[in-house]
């Protein structure tokens, strides 16, 4: 008779355990497909493997985030350094025109008292423009007497000469400029070649 009293209590406990096990993952329930008990060591090993995989994923995500951050910082720095590239290219034609104007002033006008102040004003404007270029990282490319560098010079013609080594720049037709480490405009040049 005592056995019958324990039977309802055991049945109630089994039902309560079944309800609690519903939310537990299958590999932690201690059951295999065939109903045999899975060892605690196997379950612990699976959890460790899952933890290591999750930690590796976190490390990869952190590395990717850091790479994205570095890339964005570089893009921001480039945007700051080279934001005025279009404006700088446009202003180069003004520098060219000032230089041409000064190069083509006849000698008699340079000696004239009436035009001396005018010419001095143009020269002062050119110096101020060059100062602004320097402040903004715009530099003129060295050309005449230098070997041809296809990254900075554009050869427009070959000039036969015995006075210079072939490939040496002997004439600059248009000045070239760099903005920091980027080419703004190549120098247009004439290059020496062996005479025929």
Domain boundaries, the chain: 37-83, 84-136, 138-196
User: Which of 105, 107, 106, 139 lies closest to 122 in space, CA to CA?
Assistant: 105
Confidence of residue 107 (pLDDT cuts 50, 70, 90): confident
User: What's the pLDDT score for residue 56?
Assistant: 94
Confidence of residue 16 (pLDDT cuts 50, 70, 90): low
On average, the pLDDT of the chain sits at: 84
Query: For 26-83, what is each residue's pLDDT tens digit?
Result: 655 555 444 444 688 888 889 999 999 999 999 999 999 999 999 999 999 888 888 8
Q: Which residues are paired to 189 by β-bridges?
A: 155, 172
Asked whether the predicted pLDDT for residue 124 surpasses 80, the reply is yes
What is the Cα–Cα distance from 120 to 126, expressed in whole angstroms?
A: 10
Question: How do 153-160 and 177-179 pair as beta strands?
Answer: unpaired
**What is the mean predicted confidence (pLDDT) over 108-118?**
86
Classify domain 138-196 at the CATH superfamily level: Head domain of nucleotide exchange factor GrpE (2.30.22.10)
pTM: 0.61
Query: For 135-163, what is each residue's pLDDT tens digit?
Result: 989 999 999 999 999 999 999 999 999 88
């Amino acid at each position: 008779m005592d056995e019958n009293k324990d039977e309802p209590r055991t049945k109630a406990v089994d039902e309560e355990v079944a309800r609690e096990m519903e939310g537990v993952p299958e590999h932690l329930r201690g059951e295999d497909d065939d109903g045999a008990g899975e060892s605690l060591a196997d379950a612990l090993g699976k959890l460790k493997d899952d933890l290591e995989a999750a930690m590796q994923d976190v490390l990869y995500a952190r590395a990717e985030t850091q790479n994205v951050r570095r890339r964005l910082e570089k893009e921001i720095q480039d945007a700051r350094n080279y934001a005025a590239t279009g404006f700088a290219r446009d202003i180069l034609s003004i520098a060219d025109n000032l230089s041409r104007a000064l190069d083509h002033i006849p000698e008699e006008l340079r000696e004239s008292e009436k035009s001396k102040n005018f010419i001095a004003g143009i020269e002062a404007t050119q110096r101020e423009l060059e100062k602004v270029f320097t402040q903004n990282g715009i530099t003129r490319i060295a050309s005449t007497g230098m070997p041809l560098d296809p990254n900075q010079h554009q050869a427009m013609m070959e000039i036969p000469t015995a006075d210079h080594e072939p490939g040496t720049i002997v004439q600059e037709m248009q000045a070239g400029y760099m903005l920091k480490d980027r080419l703004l405009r190549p120098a247009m040049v004439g290059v020496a070649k062996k005479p025929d």
